[in-house]
Amino acid sequence: MANIGMLNAANAVTMPLGRTLPEGPRGKKPRKRLSRGNIIVYGTLFVVALYYALPLYVMIVTSLKGMPEIRMGNIFAPPLEITFEPWVKAWKEACTGINCDGLSRGFSNSVRILIPSVILSVAIASVNGYALSMWKFRGSEVFFTILMIGAFIPYQVMLYPIVILLREAGLYGSLTGLVLVHVAFGMPINTLLFRNYFASIPEELFKAARVDGAGFWAIFFKIILPMSLPICVVAFIIQVTGIWNDFLFGVTYISSPDRYPMTVQLNNIVNSVQGVKEYNVNMAATLLTGLVPLVIYFASGKLFVRGIAAGAVKG
Amino acid sequence: MTTTDIRPQTGRSAAVRRPSRLLRNLSSKVAMLPLIFTALVIFLGGTIWTVVYSFTKSGLLPRLSWAGLDQYERLWSSRKWIVSIENLAVYGVFSLIGTLVIGFTLAALLDRKIRGEAVFRSIFLYPFALSFIVTGLVWQWILNPELGLQHVVRGMGFESFTFDPLNNPNIVMFGLLIAGLWQGTGLIMCIMLAGLRGIDDDIWKAARVDGIGTVKTYIRIIIPMMRPVFVTSLVLIAAGIVKLYDLVVAQTSGGPGISSEVPAKYVMTAMFGGQNLGQGFAASTMMLLMVVIILIPWAYLEFGGKRRG
């Protein structure tokens, strides 16, 4: 507590040295919560927080208004009459090209892409990380290095060769093809995550299992996997938000508008040039698309932070 | 590159015949097949393929008819490409500085042992969970000149107030920048905060004993100590800038006119819109070159230096 009091007297320079170091908690209570420095800190944070919170607020408010109210008024004003019509319309009726069955189609496509991609990429990345940290072989580090360098290459460089690969495999334009692309591009970050996590597992544990005659897969399933729940959750969060938010791969590898993921469909709905712009429907659609990652974000709390920090700092 | 001391088949008695090199540690190799395929075929092979085909006359379909540097000459004489590069430079410089300054400042403020840190942190970071499409569309709406921010400020009595970046070719990149910073600074703030938390409290005590002010301590002592964190942030931001694509598509579609085109969008249009594959390959090779230019000094500093020291 005393520590806070001292820090709060922000500019310690102004204080004579001797007084900051009394022998015990004597003298006046450190009630300097609203010092000048503190007001600046909280004031700045508050103003910046407004800038960050504003778009979410505008999305919500706009999506609950009727079009006449939007044309008349102020985008920051709360709705006078709350209506859920725009949400229903965005979900069920909004048009992209000839299809007028709303974002629900994109949502189901995105779910059908998301589930296999996430499961596959977490599974593959965990095995990769395990092999890379405990079963190294000649060349394994070279492959890993190439993979990590690949993470920095702009996607555009690899887009067309993958089109050819998918076409050869007969998967171009299908959801399966897109799933494989997501698995490939999610591999660097997740493999790195698992590799670093497994590197911290004591070697003795591994050696003991070897002595007992356990092989590659036995050790993985019986010892390593049960220990790796936290890192699996982190990888899961990274993959869900990353794949859900993808636009580039969806627009490149899906050939028919029926199968577009939600982000691509959303962009087509909002940026379509035909018809009258219905801003409330657009904002409802935008919010609907952002809902999945937002829920993941607010539900996972610290794990989300740990996930991105682990991925970023160690990379 | 001799790898580990725990190679499975080697430790046995000498009587057992050593299995061939390739079969040793076989399950590990089999398990890594997806990784090996991704690294060698997709990442390495794909990159080499694109670079090679950027020297061909490929149009509608890729074909190996040599064209030398023709595609590059065409690329650099294209007005749209030049605009794209200029835009990326403007966006890049401001985004780099803005993200670092805002990210560090917010982290430093949150590190002042304030109340409600968790609340502030989640507010600053939530945009990072959203896609660039969502980000672009929200800001397109807020910056809408007829109904958005400009309209509201004018309604408050400032009749001549003008802020319409999305309709003004001269400042459209700043409209994108506002959205880009909103989305990306939270991540850098988190990384910086982790860096600040890693700094020993004794440093602060020593600075206070020496009578150094808070701001001065940050600039003179803390920031130099956080060099690795800054370098990581720099690389992350720079790699993200080169990829800039979805945000532009959602927020401005490259307009007004071609005033907010970016290289990634040029590539996509050439490859999938214009069926002009050679141009797409050449442009994406240039993007690769930009990343290489960013990464090589970093890799040299990070890894080259260590090995020698």
Residue B25 to residue B19: CA distance in whole angstroms:
10
Chain A residue closest to B235 (CA)? A152
Residues of A within 8 A of B71 (CB-CB) are: none
Please state the rounded mean pLDDT for residues A192-203.
Answer: 88
DSSP A112-124: HHHHHHHHHHHHH
Place of tokens 């060769």: A161
How far is residue B287's CA from residue B285's CA, in Å, rounded to a whole number? 5
Q: Are A288 and A103 in contact (CB under 8 A)?
A: yes
Asked if pLDDT for residue A27 goes beyond 70, the answer is: no
Structure tokens at B81: 């490409």
Q: Where are the domains of chain A?
A: 2-92, 104-314
Q: Do B47 and A51 touch (CB under 8 A)?
A: no
Q: CA-nearest residue of chain B to A70?
A: B147
In tens, the pLDDT along B189-224 reads: 988 988 898 888 888 888 889 888 888 889 888 999
Class of domain B80-308: mainly alpha
pTM: 0.85
Give the integer Cα–Cα distance in Å for A90 and A280: 9
The band of B9, judged by pLDDT with boundaries at 50, 70 and 90, is very low
**pLDDT confidence of residue A73:** 77
Q: Annotate A70-84 with b (16+ C-beta within 10 A) or e (fewer).
A: beebebeeebeeeee
What does the alpha-carbon distance between residue B280 and residue B268 come to, in Å, rounded to a whole number? 7
Q: How far is B55 from chain A (nearest CA, A)?
A: 14
User: Does the distance separating the beta carbons of B182 and A74 come in below 8 Å?
Assistant: no
Question: What is the chain B residue with the closest CA to A308?
Answer: B187
- For chain B, the domains span 80-308
Helix axes B227-243, B277-299, angle to 10 degrees: 180
Instruction: Please state the rounded mean pLDDT for residues B158-187.
Output: 90
The maximal CA–CA distance of chain B, rounded, in angstroms, is 94
Question: What integer is the mean pLDDT of B244-259?
Answer: 90
CA dist list (Å): B158 to A72, A98, B153: 18, 43, 6
User: Is A132 touching B (CB cutoff 8 A)?
Assistant: yes
| pLDDT at position A25 | 59
Q: How far is B160 from chain A (nearest CA, A)?
A: 17
Q: With a cut of 50, say whether residue B5 has pLDDT above it.
A: no
- Amino acid in position B3: T
Q: Which residues contact A107 (CB under 8 A, 6 or more apart)?
A: A262, A288
Give the Cα-Cα-Cα angle B171, B177, B180 (nearest 5 degrees): 155
What pLDDT shows up at residue A255? 85
Contacts of residue A224 in chain B, CB cutoff 8 Å? none
- Identify from A157, A216, A245 which residue to disrupt to test chain B contact, counting B C-beta atoms within 10 A and taking the largest count: A157
When comparing pLDDT for A5 and A191, which is higher? A191
pLDDT tens digits for range A202-230 = 888 888 888 988 888 999 999 899 988 88
Collapse the DSSP code of B212 into the 3-class scheme (helix H, G, I; strand E, B; otherwise coil) and give the result: coil
Q: Are A61 and A75 in contact (CB under 8 A)?
A: yes
Q: Given an 8 Å threshold on Cβ–Cβ distance, is B1 in contact with A142?
A: yes
How does the average pLDDT of chain A come out, rounded? 84
Asked whether the beta carbons of residue B141 and residue A283 sit closer than 8 angstroms, the reply is yes
* More reliable by pLDDT, B114 or A312: B114
* Element holding A81 (H helix, E strand): none
Asked if B180 and B143 count as a contact pair (C-beta separation under 8 A), the reply is no
Q: Which chain A residues in 225-244 lie under 8 Å from chain B, judged by CB atoms?
A: 241, 244
Instruction: Determine what percent of chain A falls in helix, strand and coil, rounding each to the nearest 5.
Output: 70, 0, 25
User: What DSSP state is assigned to residue A174?
Assistant: S
Spatial distance between the Cα atoms of B37 and A147, rounded to a whole number of angstroms: 10
Q: Which residues contact A298 (CB under 8 A, 6 or more apart)?
A: B122, B126
CB within 8 Å: B142 and A142: no
Q: Tell me the per-residue pLDDT of B285-308, one tens digit each, with 9 for 90 and over.
A: 999 998 898 888 877 877 765 554
State which amino acid sits at residue A81: E
Within 10 angstroms of residue B223's Cβ, the number of other Cβ atoms is 16
B33 exposure class (CB count in 10 Å sphere: 0-12, 13-18, 19+):
exposed
Please state which CATH number belongs to domain A104-314. 1.10.3720.10
Which of A33-37, A167-171, B119-123 is predicted with the least confidence, judged by mean pLDDT?
A33-37
Q: State the Cα–Cα distance between residues A7 and A21, nearest whole angstrom.
A: 13
The residue among A133, A153, A298 with the most chain B CBs within 10 A of its CB, best to mutate, is A153
- d(Cα B281, Cα B265) in Å, to the nearest integer? 13
Q: What is the pLDDT of chain B when averaged over all its residues?
A: 86
A190 touches A117 (CB < 8 A): no
Residue A172 to chain B, least CA–CA distance (Å) = 14
Alpha-carbon gap: B184 to the closest alpha carbon of chain A (Å): 11
Structure tokens at A281: 């429907």
Q: What amino acid occupies position B277? A: L
Those residues with Cβ within 8 angstroms of residue B116's Cβ, 6 or more apart along the chain or in another chain: none
CB within 8 Å: A184 and B39: no
- What is the pLDDT, as a whole number, of residue B266? 93
